[in-house]
Amino acid sequence: MYNFSLPSALKSWIDHVVRINHTFSYDGKNFVGLVKARHVVVVAAFGAGGYGDALAPANFVTPYLKFLFGFLGVSEVTVIPAEATTADAATVASNIDRAKTDIRKLVEAA
């Protein structure tokens, strides 16, 4: 997350992927997602900590990406956060390890 929003490179990628009649359709009344993936995993890095708690109202990235992938037709979106990436080295290492553990659990469950 950059300043409570998406990095410009990610927004640019989204603008290239979200295409009418390719990843979604519109019949003049309804939008239909055309992406057939059933599950997307987003690993999101946050410079500060607390976006799952006290700073949750300032987390515009997670709800936006969940909406976006749902709009495209993906039924399940899992977000794995790596928070406090600007903290001291021990905190960063701990949070990265937690994210890696969450990723491993997802892969093992698949």
What per-residue confidence (pLDDT) applies to 76?
94
Is the pLDDT at 102 greater than 90? The verdict is yes
- pLDDT tens-place string over residues 35-92: 998 899 999 998 888 887 888 888 899 999 999 999 999 989 999 999 999 999 999 9
**Rounded CA gap, 42 and 81, in Å?**
8
Q: What is the DSSP letter of 85?
A: T
Helix spans in the chain (H): 8-17, 61-72, 89-109
Return the CATH number of 8-109, one of 3.40.50.300, 1.10.357.10, 3.40.50.360, 3.30.70.260: 3.40.50.360
Positive or negative, the CA dihedral 68, 76, 16, 107 is positive
- pLDDT tens-place string over residues 4-25: 888 999 999 999 999 999 999 9
What per-residue confidence (pLDDT) applies to 16?
97
What per-residue confidence (pLDDT) applies to 9?
94
